[in-house]
Each structure stands twice: as structure tokens, then as C-alpha cells.
Structure 1
Amino acid sequence: MGILSWLFNRPEAAKSNTAAKHQPAQAQSRLAQPDLQATPQIRRDKHFLRVDSLSFLGIYQLSKSKKWAIAWRDADPSVGRGGHRESGLGAYVLADVSSGTVACHGSMARPNNGQVCETGVFCLEDWHFGSTLSGTFSVFDPSGSVILAKELTANIFTSGISKHGKYAFCATGNSPTDHGNKLFLFDLVNRIEMYSVTPKAGWPDSYEVDEGTGELMALFKDMGSFRYNAHGEFMDADQLGDANLNSSHYDRIILAAEKILGEVNLTDECIQEVLIAVQRARSLGADENLAWKPTALKVQGLAHEQLGQYPEAVLVYEEALALNPKIGVKRRLASVSKRIKAE
């Protein structure tokens, strides 16, 4: 039976268990009852974890040692609703994989992106009902008690927990509120928010926390890791800039190049390095992408201009304007053209 068929064709006995409508940040968690402890409690395959006694089927994530599994279902089978919706609680299960039993289970509006550490401490994102930019990031102990819950006025982009449950983090997407485009780190031992900062490393592939130092590392698959210290200060800006310039992604190269050219007191050697990087970005595919080519030409023009290569700057500025009249180089083109006439 497929997951959708299973979710939305539950027997009537299971439907009688429906909870009341969820309010944000009020996840309902329960310890597994004694009658749920018969072995085996859980069954799982590569993608899904099933607990028949709870009429539960959901996707799951394992802890690194594979002792624990956190599973969640962003759907309410009793009313046939899943994903984006206005009502109908989802559910989650923490399973002790080593014993095949349920440690705790509960419900929340829209549970997603669970993570569990080696001690059984786990986190979940509640994406909330409706279309408002919002979410709640919650962390629980293995019994299902809430350690920390952060209600946000922005959608959650990513989240996670450190190896032994000392720290947790989440990052948000864009929002007009103070919570938009922010990176949060939480101390779970003291149950406090350590910081909320705009992520200067941008959008990494993942994050990881060093439990010894409290440093949060932004991990990029093709570039390495770059650190925020325990106060949220980004420590590796120069290293990230260099890594972006040497990246195989033309968008990262172009954005990094433009940022560097906006700095003061650059040496000609540095500007020449940026120019070479932008030209490489164009050859990597930026010229085939009409959304990126005008920006690449603009940044290349800035480099030529700062190096005093005015004829070359005019050529690329003109090409950029032909592709996008609003690219923002009309005044620069006029200024550089006057310089050439004055020589």
C-alpha cells in the first residue's frame, strides 16, 4: 500500500483519535504507554517508519549511531489532509531503534525536517497552518518534554542539533519581520538563545556545531567549512571570499567578485584576480544564463574600470546595458567614456 493510500484510508477506529486544532508552538507530546511496548513496536524501510499500534507511517531520520530515529507525518489521515492546509494535526514518533520500541510520540500542526542526536534529544520544525510566513522550531528530550521552542515570524529554511544535544540551530527564509533571513543558535543545556544574526556566509549546504567551542560551521560541499563564533560573529569572511572566487559555481563567483570590488584600498593584484575569476564565471555558464550574464558583464566592467582599462570597461558596460537597461551602469559608462575622450 502506498503512503498516500495508507494515510488517507485509515480505518474508522484510528480516526476516532483525532486531536483538537493545533495552536502554534503548542506541540502535544506523550510518553509511550505500557501497552505500546510489545516488541517489535516499529518497522522501517529505506524511507518510512511504521508503528502499527499508533496507526503511524512517516518519513524518518536516524542519529549517527543509528540508535534513535525521529519520524514525522505532515498530514492528518482522519480528515484526508496533508501538506499545506488550514487544519488537521500531523504527528511524530521518536523510536529507540536498538530495542524496536517507541520512546515518545506526539502531534503538532505540520511537523517537518526532524533531527535526532546520540542522546535521543530531537528537534522538529512546525511549518504552521495557513499561508502566513511563520514556523516554530522545537527541541524535545527523549521523553517528549519540550526543552526549547522558538516561534518565528518567518519560514524555517533549515535546522539541526549537535551530536550530543548540547546545541541546536535554525535558519529562516526572507520575511519583512525581524525574524527574516536570520541564523539562530541555542544552548540546550541552559535553554537559552545564544544569538540571532544575518547569515554572512549566505546559504550553505548544511550546518554543524562544534560542541567544544560552540562554533557553528557553515558547510559547503565544494568549498569547505566557515565559522561563526559563540557570539554569532562570522570569523572566516576572507577565506569564504577566496573560496567563492575559486568555486565552480558561476553565481557564487560573480557575487563574491562584486562584493570584493566594493571594498576600499584594493591592490591592482587583487582586482586582477577578481577580473580573471569573473571571466572564468562567464565561461562556466553565466553567458548562457540571461539572468546572470548582464551582472557578470557589469562586474567585469567594474574590474576593468578600477584597473584603468577604460576601453575594455566601455565594451562590457555597453553589452550589459543592451541585455538589461536597468543593470545600473549608465552613469559609469558615461563617466568612463568622458575619461577616454579626455586622454
Structure 2
Amino acid sequence: MLKWLFGANERAAGGPEPPAGARQRISRQSLDDASRIVHIPELNFIGHQVRSANGRFILLWRDGNDAGTVGGARQSGLGRYYLVDGDLVVAVGQVERPNDGRVANNGTFTLNDWRFTSELCGMFLAFRADGSPIITRTFAANIFDSGLSDDGRYAVCQACNAPNSEDSSRLVIFDLEAGIETGSCVPESGWAARYEFPADRPVVRLLYLKGEGFDYGLDGTFLDRDTWVEASLAKGDVYLVQKLFRATGDAPSPELANRLLISLDGFLVNADALDPHTRALALKLKGACCEILEDFPKALRIYDAALALDPKIGVKRRAEQLRKLTGS
């Protein structure tokens, strides 16, 4: 009884016992598995892993309960994560549904918590190498993806589309050294495939599957917008042209309207095999550009061509107004 009491007092004086697995060493054979899914027998763990760029730190996480009886979408059973420095577990924790882990060269790490609820929501979490929290940011939307600079200074995450939510499609940028959110935006260039943090300037670069990359300032300002506009127009993609048109409040400058016309003409040359609605949309946009350039007879002819393809394309009233204006 005395031994039990003294033992209890000793633990109380030294603080709470560390979580299971903390300060435990793991065999290199388990850690050197190059696959994304790993088995760590010492931790009774099967889950995901990601390494820091310098190879020092490994972040492990499992979107399932400790018993291994339930995983993925569920209503209970906390997931678990571990941070390993070399072969030593230095941080352990639990959140509802840990996913998309990132770890920096200094051990700073991030996770996206997909939460138990079926509602559109998520939580972005950032921690120091000792497991202490830096940032907890909740979203009224699911989280699409995240990024972390190699030095652990900056992080980003972007939400999925969530109708009627102010977080819908929002990209949020964090300075983890200062422990603050520095800015956010809904990127005109869309959801990125991955993120870079150039060492020579304070920006976040959004990278896309076709190799394109566009810089955003830490406050969310789109720094490479002109470059993106030119790249989008060069593609001749009618939906990108529509997006550019709307970004101006449906009132592009005459200079931009001319550039849009060139892009739309290039699209329409090769659009014969496309569905009538898509071709009609391109004609609708072309007619709108002609209106901005005050070539009203040409705009009317193009609107009529669009209506012949798709009577519901949305320019019937405008065509009638132009018919009266031009006396056609």
C-alpha cells in the first residue's frame, strides 16, 4: 500500500504519464519502408506515413480507432498520430479523423481532421515538434488539401466547395512561426495539385497538374493574375474564358474583350464536334464581347447563332433589345 501511495505521489509530482508510445524507439526496418502505408509493430500501428524533406522526421497517422475495428467515416473512435525523430517517438496525439499529414525539416507538422460528423466541415491542425499545438482552424467545409514549407515556417490549406458557406473553396495561409493566419482568398486559378514556398520571396505558389504555377501573396493577393489570364486564354477553353469574363463582373475592358475574342475564335474553329450547349456558350460570350466593343450588329448575329443551338442559353432578351437598337 505504501509503495503504491509513494508511486502515485511520484507520478503526481512529475506530471501525467506520457501517452503510450511516447519516447519509444522503433526499429529502422519498420521506418525505412518506402510505401505510404506502413506497419510499425512496436506501436501496433498500421497507417500512413510521410517524411520531412531532410529525412529526419516521420509523421504517422491512422484514420481509425486504436482497436483497429473501425476506420474512415464513422461516429466515434479517435484516430491517432505519431511524430518520430530518427527512431524515437517524440509526439503522440489523437484527433477524430487525421488525414493528409505534412512534416517539415524542423519537425513542425500539420494534419487535416475530417471529423466524425457527416456535415461539411473540417479542421486544420498545426503542431510543433514536441506535439504542442500552434494553429487550430475550423472550416464550415470539407478540407481539400494542404501544404507546408520545408522549413516549417508557412502552411496553407484549401477547402472544398460548400454551398452557402463563407469557407467554400477558401485557401487560408498561415505563418506558423508567428502562430497566425496571414490571409485567405478563393483562388481564381482553382484548386492546386500541390504547393511550393519559394525561399527567395514571401509567397505561396499554387502548382497544377499540367506544370503551371501561380504566386499568391501571404495575404491572399493573386500576384500572377495577368500571367494566369494569358495562360487561360491561350488554352482556348470556353469555361476558363467564362470564368475570366465573370471575374470582371461581366464587364471586361475593351482590351480584355479583344483578347477574349481571339481566344473564343480559336475555340470555335475546333468546336464543331462539341455538344451544342458548349458551342452556344462560346457564341454567347463572343456576342457579349462584341457588345462591349460596340459592334452591335455582329453581336446580334452571334446571339442568334447561339440561340439556334440552344434556345435556353440566356441571350434571347438581349438579342431582342439589340434588334430594336439596330432596327434589324
TM-score normalised per structure 2:
0.80
For the 8 Å contact 1:244–1:252, the answer to whether it is kept is yes
For the 8 Å contact 2:113–2:123, the answer to whether it is kept is yes
Q: Distance in 1 between matches of 2:73 and 2:309?
A: 39
Choose from 166, 169, 174 the match for 1:186.
Answer: 174
For the 8 Å contact 1:223–1:243, the answer to whether it is kept is no
- The residue type paired with residue 120 of structure 2 is L
Residues 145 and 224 of structure 1: CA distance in aligned 2, closer, same or farther (over 3 Å): same
Greater radius of gyration (CA) = 2
Q: Distance in 1 between matches of 2:101 and 2:88?
A: 18
Spell out, residue by residue over 1:71-90, the C-alpha distance to the aligned partner (whole angstroms, 9 max, x if none). Answer: 32222363632222211222
Bigger RCO of structures 1 and 2 (CA < 8 A, at least 6 apart): 1
TM-score normalised per structure 1:
0.77
Q: Distance in 2 between matches of 1:68 and 1:324?
A: 58
Choose from 315, 322, 325 the match for 1:336.
Answer: 322
1:289 positional shift: 4.8
Matched residue, 1:216? 204
Identity level (%): 31
- The correspondence of residues 19-98 of structure 1 with structure 2, limited to 5 A, is 30=19, 32-37=21-26, 39-40=28-29, 42=31, 44-76=33-65, 78=67, 80-96=69-85
- The residue type paired with residue 142 of structure 1 is A
- The residue type paired with residue 135 of structure 1 is G
Matched residue, 2:91? 104
What is the number of equivalent residue pairs in this alignment?
A: 310
2:101 counterpart of 1:114? yes
Residues 173 and 323 of structure 1: CA distance in aligned 2, closer, same or farther (over 3 Å): farther
2:278 counterpart of 1:278? no
Specify every segment of 5 or more residues in structure 1 that has no aligned partner in the other structure, as ranges.
Answer: 1-28
Specify every segment of 5 or more residues in structure 2 that has no aligned partner in the other structure, as ranges.
Answer: 1-17
For the 8 Å contact 1:72–1:91, the answer to whether it is kept is yes
Residues 39 and 65 of structure 1: CA distance in aligned 2, closer, same or farther (over 3 Å): closer
- Give the stretch that moved more between structures: 141-150 or 130-139: 141-150
Matched residue, 2:122? 135
- The correspondence of residues 235-274 of structure 1 with structure 2, limited to 5 A, is 235-247=223-235, 249-257=237-245, 259=247, 262-267=250-255, 270-274=256-260
Matched residue, 1:5? none
Q: Distance in 1 between matches of 2:42 and 2:270?
A: 54
- The residue type paired with residue 233 of structure 2 is L
1:191 positional shift: 0.8
Residues 286 and 145 of structure 1: CA distance in aligned 2, closer, same or farther (over 3 Å): farther
For the 8 Å contact 2:128–2:134, the answer to whether it is kept is yes
Spell out, residue by residue over 1:166-189, the C-alpha distance to the aligned partner (whole angstroms, 9 max, x if none). Answer: 111111123323333322111111
1:228 positional shift: 2.3
Residues 313 and 265 of structure 1: CA distance in aligned 2, closer, same or farther (over 3 Å): closer
Spell out, residue by residue over 1:121-152, the C-alpha distance to the aligned partner (whole angstroms, 9 max, x if none). Answer: 11100010121111110111222221221122
Spell out, residue by residue over 1:212-245, the C-alpha distance to the aligned partner (whole angstroms, 9 max, x if none). Answer: 5432222234463322223322222222211111
- The correspondence of residues 225-236 of structure 1 with structure 2, limited to 5 A, is 225-236=213-224
For the 8 Å contact 1:294–1:327, the answer to whether it is kept is yes
1:324 positional shift: 4.4
1:61 positional shift: 2.6
Q: Name the Cα RMSD after superposition.
A: 3.0
For the 8 Å contact 1:159–1:171, the answer to whether it is kept is yes
Choose from 197, 202, 210 the match for 2:185.
Answer: 197
2:127 counterpart of 1:144? no
1:47 positional shift: 2.9
- The residue type paired with residue 134 of structure 2 is I
Spell out, residue by residue over 1:62-101, the C-alpha distance to the aligned partner (whole angstroms, 9 max, x if none). Answer: 32233333232222363632222211222223334xx444
Residues 109 and 296 of structure 1: CA distance in aligned 2, closer, same or farther (over 3 Å): same
Matched residue, 2:288? 302
